[in-house]
Structure 1
Amino acid sequence: MSWMAWTTPTAIFFAVIAALLVTFTVLAVKFPETPRVGILRIETTRGDRLFITLLGSAFINLIWLGFEVGPQPYALLACLVYAAAVFRWV
C-alpha cells in the first residue's frame, strides 16, 4: 500500500478504532444490552452511542482545526469529555 501515507499517528488511529470495534463486539456478546432512551429521546445501544461519539469527535476536530482554537492535541480532551457525556446521557 505505497499509495497511502501510513504514518505512526495514522496507524494508531486505525488501531484504536479497530480495538474499539472488537471491544464493543465482545461486550455485546458477553453482556447483552437493552436499548435505553436518553436526552435525544431515541433508543440507543452501546454501538449507537459509539457511532455518535466518533461522528461528533470528527466534527469537534474539524471545528478545532477550522477555528484554530488551540493545539490539536487539546481537541482530544474535548472529545473525551464529549464521549463521556454521550455515554452518560444519550
Structure 2
Amino acid sequence: MFDWMAWTTPVAVFFSCVVLMLAGMTVWEVKSPTRERRGWLPIATTRGDRLFIGLLAAAYVNLAWVGLGEKMMAWFSLQAEPTVWISFVASMALLALVMRKG
C-alpha cells in the first residue's frame, strides 16, 4: 500500500511528530478552548490556525531542502547530499516560532 513512498527514518519521524502534534492540540483544545490573538502574522489566529500555517511552512522547508540537495553539493563541494535531519530541525524550529509568536 505504501510502497510508492520512501519511508526513511527521517520521514517516519516527521510524520510521527505531525500525528503527535495533532493529537496533542486536540486534547489541549478540549481542555482549554482557544481565543483568537494577533502576533506577527498579518491575521488574527487561533492555536489551530498557527499549527496549520506552521505545518505548511515546515513542509515547504523540507521540500526546499530536498530539492536543493544536489545543488548544495555543488555549491559547497560536499561529498554527499546534506542530511535531511538538518531540515527536520529547521522546520520544527520554524513551527515552534509560528506557534509561539505567530
Q: Same fold (TM over 0.5)?
A: yes
**SS of equivalent residue, structure 2 residue 86:** helix
1:79 aligns with 2:91: yes
Runs of 4+ in 1 over 2 A off after TM superposition: 5-19
**Structure 1 counterpart of 2:93, which letter?**
V
Question: Which sits farther off after the overlay, 31-40 or 4-13?
Answer: 4-13
| Residue in 1 that maps onto 2:67 | 66
Partner Cα distance (2:84, 2:8) in 1? 16
Structure number with the bigger relative contact order (C-alpha 8 A, sep ≥ 6) is 2
**Structure 2 counterpart of 1:19, which letter?**
L
Structure-to-structure mapping, 1:9-20, within 5 angstroms: 9=9, 12-20=13-21
Partner Cα distance (1:47, 1:21) in 2? 9
Q: Percent identity?
A: 39
Per-residue Cα deviation, 1:24-67 (whole angstroms, up to 9, x for no partner) = 11101111111111112211111111111111111101110111
Cα deviation, residue 12, structure 1? 4.8
| Residue in 2 that maps onto 1:89 | 101
User: Which of 2, 21, 35 in structure 2 is aligned with 1:4?
Assistant: 2
In 2 relative to 1, CA 15–29 (structure 1 residues): closer, same or farther, beyond 3 Å? same
In 2 relative to 1, CA 79–14 (structure 1 residues): closer, same or farther, beyond 3 Å? closer
Q: Does the 8 Å CA contact 2:14/2:88 hold for their aligned counterparts? A: no
**Structure 1 counterpart of 2:92, which letter?**
L
| Residue in 1 that maps onto 2:42 | 41
Superposed CA RMSD? 2.1
Q: TM-score, normalised by structure 1?
A: 0.80
Where structure 1 has 5 or more consecutive residues not aligned to the other structure, the ranges are none
Q: TM-score, normalised by structure 2?
A: 0.72
From the CA coordinates, give the structure whose radius of gyration is larger.
2
